[in-house]
Amino acid sequence: MAHQRNGLAVRRRAVGLTQEALAERMQVDRSTVARWESGRTTPQPWMRPRLARLLRVDADGLNDLLTVRQTGDVDVHGALDHALLHPERIDLVAVAALRAGFDDCAARYDRVPSVGLIAEAAAQLNRIGRLAAGAARGRVQRELHALHADACTLMGQLVWDASQRRDHLTAKRYYERGADLARYLRDPTLEAHALLRTCYVALYGARDVRAGLSLAEQAAVTAEPTSPGLSGLAFLHVAEAHAMLGSASDCERALSQAERRFDDAEDNDAAADLVSPTQFGRLAGSCCLSLGDYRRAEILLTSTAEELRGRRKSRAIVLGNLTLARIRQRDVEAAVDSLSEAITELETTRGGGGMNIVFGAARELRPWRQEPLVAEVQDRLFGLMTAA
């Protein structure tokens, strides 16, 4: 019979961490966390104090979580099947199974095409919504409403990405539903996340920079009481909006505010799974690009691209912006190198943000289209564009 550490996985989800987020904080691969939870391996002794802090347990509590049990001890799938037939009887075990399915889908977003996740995410969203509506009032229903808000936000993210950042209306509807649920729960972190996602549509899709700036500022203020990390992330987008508007001083001020909030964030931050150490370099590099400081942009984006290996959609965006910084310094050979790397990432993920930036960079390479290196990378782009 298979074994798994059910308690370890449930505790991770209870503190708001995905496998990927926990792996990043432990400085291990996501597959390592999966092996810990499945019972196939055990964390090294020197890792355990930090793991205990992240999971907010003491040493004895961690030992208990690491105790391998038979999968039959906690039949999460059976509990979920029963809940679907009797929504009014759903319990926390079934909610944990739903959350695990959602976490798995969300964790794959940055590595696979969104179009391949939409059907799965839609089915999860419908199931969660149905169970939330039928559950008895209390903690279980609140957990379901919170999961429903997260699922709405993820669905908006998937739809927008799969549409190559063109279907603004559908994405915004999902985000608005997520924000409404968050307000019903009086959960500032969930609300701020939905607002920030709506900001992305304004900034990078509709190109309504002032609307995006307003939404980013609103998200930063909303998140601050519960999540300095998410507030810091929102201030990074405030900075980028100011950079797009050409205001270097306002941009620098917002970047400083972001840094201060990141410094205040702790491991138990309510949105710890949404915040990554790479985000500052990624957004600061983009700000420098908008403000015309191409050399500084190149330095920031080069180091960030190295740190992002494994997060392919995010890395494609960074490499696309790095390509633009190099083109604008007329370093064509280096630009082709980073563009080629971006295409490699996009061949697997087809991320909407990366696709838009990469094709924009290709347009800026047209003056050198007769050069063999440029012609070769243009051929790869054509293949990317025509691939099914």
Cα–Cα distance, 99 to 109 (Å, whole number): 16
Angle, alpha carbons 173-174-178 (nearest 5°): 115
Please report, for residues 8, 16, 226, 308, 333, the alpha-carbon distance to residue 314 in angstroms, rounded to integers and kept in the order given: 28, 21, 26, 7, 23
Residue 141 tokens, joined? 């229903």
Contacts of 247 (CB under 8 A, 6+ apart): none
Amino acid at 97: A
Cα–Cα distance, 377 to 167 (Å, whole number): 28
Q: Name the burial class of residue 344, with classes exposed (0-12), middle (13-18) and buried (19+) by CB atoms within 10 angstroms of its CB.
A: middle
Asked whether 348 and 112 are in contact (CB, 8 A), the reply is yes
Cα–Cα distance, 337 to 122 (Å, whole number): 38
Contacts of 239 (CB under 8 A, 6+ apart): 250, 251, 252, 254, 255, 258, 283, 284, 287
pLDDT in 10s for each residue of the chain, 388 residues = 344 555 788 788 777 788 888 888 888 888 888 888 877 778 887 888 889 888 887 777 788 787 754 444 445 556 667 777 778 888 888 888 888 888 888 888 988 899 999 999 999 999 999 999 999 889 999 999 999 999 999 999 999 999 999 999 999 999 999 999 999 999 999 999 999 999 999 999 999 999 999 999 999 999 999 999 999 999 999 999 999 999 999 999 999 999 999 999 887 788 888 888 899 999 999 999 999 999 999 999 999 999 988 788 999 999 999 999 999 999 999 999 999 999 999 998 989 999 999 999 999 999 999 999 999 998 888 888 776 4
Tell me, yes or no, if the pTM score tops 0.95. no
pLDDT value at position 74?
46
